[in-house]
Amino acid sequence: MRSSHHPFPTRHAKPAGSSIQKSTLSKHESKRASDAQTIQIIAVLGCGTMGHGIAQMAAAAGFRVIMRDVEKDALVRAVQSIERNLEKGAKLGKLTEDECDMALQRLRGTVHLSETAEADLFIEAAPEVLEIKQNILREVETLAHKSFIFASNTSSLSITEIARASRHPERVVGMHFFNPVHIMRLLEIVRGKDTSAETVDAVRSVGLRMKKEPIIVKDAPGFASSRLGVALGLEAMRMLEQGVASARDIDTAMELGYNHPMGPLRLTDLVGLDVRLKIAEYLHTTLSSETFRPPEILRRMVSEGKLGKKTGEGFYKWNEEQ
């Protein structure tokens, strides 16, 4: 890439012709949520494994993106990963150098939530804990403009439950992206009990612009994807515990025997064992099903800090290049 752009913590100038001006906002506020075209600025709240990928795809799709994390180091890592991914994309001919530079210029990072106030759409990708997500939503509501939309990237938590923290539950929705976000095409849109059709339409349009294939699902524990994916992953761990086969051979069974692009244990390493454990605990309780009881091996590895790719070791050993 030609320019070395550093998306934070500097202030970002509004691009010429931007229609997001406070004065016009108030005139059109009531219309905003129902008009997907008016989503121009996206705030990504939490920039770890998922957040940085969501930010990258949103910026590449032409949205202005404000990345917010409570940890400055997480923002530094997020920017490095985005730069690396875009460079790889350019080498593979998926986008031009100019497109990479433009995407980077649309991004900025901050540790201050107040700097996200102008966003039209907030996509939360913070840890999988209901209280954390509800607190973020409460905070957003104190500073966002009146027709904001709040989307959670939760893998399993109830959107209806998260929305209980809001005075506008019709504007709360699930936008469940998959890891790695710049590669996986699925976007699971989760409609909470009170989510409006306009909100679903708006995030669907955003997803399409981000080159995702949206599906729309009811707010049920684990939605359509996590419930099946986590069941498979937990069974693979129990098989490993019982010595049925090595991690590699269990994964190979699914890859070559069932044409899965990646085996369930390698996938768990990419997702993060801690993330998977939280989802399993939640599904075990909400669905009252033994299928989702977290295996001992998962609890042990999480307590030992073997969280998968992000810590360098999970069911496999990982290095920076992988």
Name the site residues for ligand NAD (rule: CB under 6 A). 45-51, 68-71, 74, 125-128, 132, 136, 153-155, 176-179, 271-272, 275
Position with the least CB separation from ligand NAD: 48
Among candidates 55, 63, 47, which has minimal Cα distance to 120?
63
**195: Cβ contacts below 8 Å, ≥ 6 apart:** 159, 163, 169, 170, 171, 172, 173
- Strand partners of residue 189: 175, 216
Cα–Cα distance between 79 and 107 in angstroms, integer? 9
Q: How far is the CB of 234 from ligand NAD (least distance, A)?
A: 15
For ligand NAD, give the closer residue by CB, 71 or 241.
71
C-beta of 65 vs 126, nearer to ligand NAD: 126
Minimal distance in Å, beta carbon 279 to ligand NAD?
6
> How near is the Cβ of 288 to ligand NAD at its closest, in Å?
21
Judged by beta carbon, residue 69 or residue 118, the one nearer ligand NAD is 69
Cα separation of 67 and 125, whole Å?
A: 10
Q: Which strands, in side-by-side order, build the sheet including 172-176?
A: 107-110, 64-68, 41-45, 121-124, 149-152, 172-176, 186-191, 213-218
Judged by beta carbon, residue 162 or residue 202, the one nearer ligand NAD is 162
Query: Least CB distance from residue 157 to ligand NAD, whole Å?
Result: 7
- Closest approach of Cβ 283 to ligand NAD, in Å? 12
Closest to ligand NAD by CB, 123 vs 200, is 123
**Residue 177 CB, nearest approach to ligand NAD (Å):** 6
Pick the closer one to ligand NAD by CB: 39 or 54: 54
Cβ nearer to ligand NAD, comparing 184 with 245: 184
> To the nearest whole angstrom, how small is the minimum distance from the Cβ of residue 75 to ligand NAD?
8
